[in-house]
Chains A and B, each alone.
Chain A
Amino acid sequence: MELTVLVFLPAVAAIVVLLLPARQEHLAKYVALAGSVATLALSLWLFFTFDLNESGYQFVERREWVDLGAFNLQYFLGVDGLSMPLVVLTAFLTTASVLVSFSVTRRQRLYYALLLILSTSVLGVFTALDFMLFFLFWELELFPMYLLISIWGSGRKEYSATKFVLFTIAGSAFMLVGILVLAFSASTFDIQVLGQSSFDDTVLPLRWVFLFLFIGFAIKLPIVPVHTWLPDAHSDAPTAVSVMLAGVLLKMGGYGLIRMCVTILPGQADDLSAWMAGAGAVSVLYGAFVTLRQTDVKRLIAYSSVSHMGLVLLGVGALGTTGMVGATYQMVAHGVITGLLFVMIGLIYERTHTREIARLGGLARQVPLLATGFVFAGFGSLGLPALAGFIAEVMVFLGAFEQYEWAALMAIFGVVLSAGYILWMLQRVVFGPVRPEWNSLTDQRHWWEHSVVLMLAALIILLGVYPAILTDMINPAIDTIVLRVGA
């Protein structure tokens, strides 16, 4: 029951928000905040009551949903050490995006309702254990995203929103074929059962099935060369949507890779592991090189995400526990770090109305708090030790090096490149001579601004100095998966 409440709590809050009378529109943000904080509290309660000594699914709920004779669609939810951290991450970032939206004034009720529905759909993806249910949640996320970008976005927002939807749907089409083939072979959509079955090439060669699923998840992650929707979507999306997009939506791809591709088809994953590791390393480098050319802060962060998500694929491709724990850690770490980066540039953009690196500069003098937060997030992004990203990166490298030394040695160059683009950006945005045009800017001052920044910063430090809080949870879940690959 807990998971159902967790998944649909944001949706219920969304309905409440929509039912608010027009006169009470200003209450929308508080209702949304209450809903997201309640979700967060519940997710934390689940996190801390999660039994670390058990490697299977916990808080399981299973009901018959659609009975189709031999096929049963189930309403089947559950979390394990892989999905639990991602669920908490989603709840955290939902709260963060509601807080950072407090300055939104246009059509607030619809805005917050969509944001909350987005949260429900992502929580559904991370908890669904029926492949068709998973797919429905996966698709559900498109509709709030499309509206949020195209109504509250900026720049070429319709183009970007459409591009986002089309790329994802293209991937979904492949994924659906893969899902159906697997379901027909095993006569079930049950992910738990699928993850323990073995398949043969009856309907389609299994390698194809693997690739179909892989394409769906790779587009979401995204990896080069199916990544170009991401910079466009980010640069035109409102701040909160960027936070959700980079923070949790991309993780659906990484989660799918581990939960579906590797767990259900371990043999095919094994055959293709070198290609995955290679593609991950190429994504890391390609993303980083292109990042170095960006002149818009949001596009820069978006491309850096491509680079950082390449590490997830690299860790998965190594097919060892260390690498996949690292990949999972990287998803969480990138979620909070890049979330904070987008929050900071969002707060700066609200004041300066520009994200052009060339137009910004010297902000450390006029808005020292915003500058500090930005520098902090930047150092998180470049993998500074004692912050979350470092642990993840090193684990991915260690895991990858055991399996494919060449891929790990390629990817570590990303460490220098990320220092390059982050410090280059900081030098031009935050440091340097004061620009009189920004003299009248107000520094970070509202309680919601302080709380969102502090919340994310605290999490980044916590995950950097106390990694066991997650690794103890992730380890057993990944071990189970790796055992299946080895078998």
Chain B
Amino acid sequence: MPFLEAAATQSPTIDEWLLWAILVSPLTAWALIVLYFRKIPAVAGYLAIAGIGISCLISFVTLFNVIDADGAIAQHTHEWFTAGDVVVNLGVRVDGLTAVMLVVVTSVSLLVQIYSTGYMAGDSGYGRYFAHMCLFTTAMLGLVLADNLFMLFIFWELVGLSSYLLIGFWFHKPSAAAAAKKAFIVTRIGDLGLLAALLLIWSRAETFDIAGIHHWAASGEASDKIVTLFALGIFAGAAGKSAQFPLHVWLPDAMEGPTPVSALIHAATMVAAGVYLVARFFPVFEVSTDAREVVAWIGAATALIAATIALVQTDLKRVLAYSTVSQLGYMMLALGALGYVAAIFHLFTHAFFKALLFLGSGSVNHGTNTFDMRKMGGLRAKMPVTFWTFVIGSLSLAGIFPLAGFWSKDEILLDAWRYDRALWFMAATVAFMTAFYMFRAIFLTFFGEYKGGEPVDHHDPDNHFHGDPAHPHESPWPMRAPLLILAVPAVLAGLLNVDHDFGDFINHALPELPHHEGSTFEWGIALSSLGLALGGIGLAWAIYYKRWVSSASLRELFLPLAGLFEHKYFLDNVYEDIFVRGIFHRGWNRLLELTDRYVIDGVANGSGRLVRGVSSGLRPIQNGLLQTYGLGFAAGVIIFVLAVFAANPL
């Protein structure tokens, strides 16, 4: 492992313009597509690949550069504007954490774009699709590179915009339009916290600079209460983007977007931005125990709730969506339990194997025209590449030795164990469920009899499905290649931290090295989690492959619980029916609207009528000619002014 060989501790030497080029390259591709190549599909796709490819290349250069500098920090900042005493800067900051994120974002994005040239072929919005993808990649990279909270917030919101546009990509579908809106609004509720944190930090520390905020938190100049409030605000924003309970409800609906979008944005990168945000401000969370407790327990609850819902999904993509929510909960749990390295390491491995799984589900959809697992089955022989890569991704997610997910999940379980046994217990339960629902999905999708897929609706002008769902076939090379490439890190990425290299590298992004570092491996934890994962797989095998127990009778057995899971804990109903429609739309908003119409306007109209009554004696003057009114008005003003001066001949 070469990470620590260079002993130098000077700043990374990479030129500043190269760092900005990481951002500018996909942005340029976006602008070119929007301005010139919207309607030229071939060019649009390759332009996006080129733009993101350049970013990816520079990101790797940056990574190695930072490795050479031993994970030290480089920062270049410029004043953007001033308003009163508020000075806002634009700047880039590169350290171990940034470099890792850059590589994850650009490499997954690049593979997803390549895949998309196959998956989206023939779509009438092909050019628009790649434009949005470039916009997303730019925004995500800006979020990662930002050296201050203000700039981070800007790109944070732009990421939300591109997510909105891509979820609603097939905007004529009412469900897609609704899901896009829901995603934006729910995440914006979380952003309220982030905005409040932004206001708070300026009023208390007079800086937005990330290093400055680290310093402010560690210096002890602010009271614990203020630090905690700031941390909770940050976490609220993170909870929105990273789909943490109770703001997770948008992510499953976001699956209305094209599947490569789900792979890139709603699995590998954007939803991990919340985890990144908390990690970015980890020194603040280190100071505030209360905030950390909240992060840990919300994370654990999210992991558990989402895993239970995933157990009963019939839609392959929704299984993956809930799995993503659950894994994000894992990462938050780790951050709360002081496992900064474990969380980022899991973010890193998860990005690869979850993107792999989503792209795999897209490949399945490409053959069958559906995501409904009840209409699949037996695809193992027909789509071998998809099958094997999907199995690799699932084994990695389930945490089977020696795949990537095993190592990163194990670190989280270890941190949870050390921090609070109850958290470990929840996380271990989730590990069992994860293995179970993933292999349930595999057995339903790839084994048994093929059930015919979804017939193609040839009357739908937006349908560009080419093949025959009755005879599914393997996807074309642009789709197969990314699956194969992603399978490599899904297997091997875990080895990077066996010697703590990964951890040491990203630890340098913190102002002080964490002093709670213990060994990152313990046989007991590793064996127990492996056992739970194998147990989950075995149970799925027994029920969905061997069919020793029928799943219907199991459902009967756990009926109230299964019902609760199937209805997603009724959270959507509570939010939409009770809060949005009930309390607000029909209640409070209506009350204000009626006040407006009858009380406020009533007074105005009433006084108008009063005047009219009094003035009916003066009616002859009102001859309806505007000229007369104008003349009268002008004369009135003049007389009034003259009268005033006449009365006061100073």
Contacts and interface: CB of A to CB of B under 8 A. Distances in A.
A and B: bona fide binding partners: yes
Interface of A: 68-71, 132, 136, 139, 143, 146-147, 163, 166-167, 176, 180, 184, 187, 224-225, 227-229, 286, 289-290, 292-293, 320-326, 329, 362, 364-365, 379, 384-386, 390-391, 394-395, 397-399, 401-402, 405, 408-409, 412-413, 415-416, 419-420, 423-424, 426-427, 430-434, 467-468, 471-472, 474-475, 478-479, 482
A167 B600 CA distance: 13
Contacts of A326: 83
Interface in B99-137: none
Given A322-B85, A398-B86, A433-B172, A166 B608 contact: yes
7 contacts: A187-B650, A384-B158, A401-B200, A412-B195, A416-B188, A424-B181, A468-B82
B172 A228 contact: no
B184 A419 contact: yes
Contacts of B601: 228
B512 interface: no
B590 A384 contact: no
Given A289-B588, A385-B155, 19 more contacts: A69-B649, A69-B650, A132-B641, A290-B592, A290-B593, A321-B83, A329-B83, A384-B161, A394-B195, A402-B203, A415-B192, A415-B195, A419-B185, A433-B174, A468-B81, A471-B81, A471-B83, A475-B82, A482-B84
Given A68-B645, A402-B203, A475 B84 contact: yes
Nearest to A140: B634
Instruction: List 9 A-B pairs, minimum CB-CB distance, nearest first.
Output: A321-B84, A322-B84, A431-B177, A385-B154, A431-B171, A70-B650, A401-B199, A468-B81, A467-B81
Given A225-B600, A228-B600, A398 B202 contact: yes
Interface in B544-595: 584-585, 588-590, 592-593
Interface in B171-193: 171-174, 176-178, 180-181, 184-185, 188-189, 191-192
A70 B157 CA distance: 58
Nearest to A428: B177
Contacts of B645: 68, 71
Contacts of B590: 293
B614 to A, nearest CB: 14
Interface in B71-108: 80-86
B506 to A, nearest CB: 27
Contact of A467 (B80, B592, B608, B626): B80
Nearest to A391: B81
Contacts of B84: 320-325, 399, 475, 478-479, 482
A454 B442 CA distance: 51
Contacts of A68: 645
A325 B158 contact: no
Contacts of A180: 644
Given A390-B154, A402-B203, A475 B161 contact: no
Nearest to A426: B181
Nearest to B174: A432
A432 B83 CA distance: 41
A363 B596 CA distance: 31
A294 B537 CA distance: 53
Interface of B: 80-86, 150, 153-155, 157-158, 161, 164, 168, 171-174, 176-178, 180-181, 184-185, 188-189, 191-192, 195-196, 198-200, 202-203, 584-585, 588-590, 592-593, 596, 600-601, 604, 608, 626, 630, 633, 637, 640-641, 644-645, 648-650
B172 A432 contact: yes
B185 A416 contact: yes
Nearest to A286: B592
Contacts of B185: 416, 419-420, 423
A323 B174 CA distance: 41
Contacts of B177: 427, 431-432
Contact of A71 (B83, B86, B650): B650
B161 A412 contact: no
Nearest to A229: B604
A424 B589 CA distance: 15
B195 A397 contact: yes
Nearest to B590: A293
Contacts of A412: 192, 195-196, 199
Given A293-B593, A326-B83, A167 B181 contact: no
A474 B81 CA distance: 12
Nearest to A395: B83
A364 B171 contact: yes
Given A321-B85, A325-B84, A415-B191, A434 B589 contact: no
Nearest to B645: A68
B84 to A, nearest CB: 3
Nearest to B193: A412
Contacts of B191: 415
Nearest to A474: B83
A322 B83 contact: yes
A321 B184 CA distance: 32
Contacts of A329: 83
B581 to A, nearest CB: 11
A397 B86 CA distance: 12
Contacts of A228: 596, 600-601, 604
B199 to A, nearest CB: 4
Given A166-B608, A322-B83, A412-B196, A139 B637 contact: yes
A139 B604 CA distance: 21
B83 A325 contact: yes
A419 B604 CA distance: 31
Nearest to B611: A166
Contacts of B168: 431
A229 B605 CA distance: 11
B171 A379 contact: no
Given A228-B600, A228-B604, A413 B202 contact: no
Contacts of B172: 362, 364-365, 431-434
A211 B171 CA distance: 50
B585 A379 contact: no
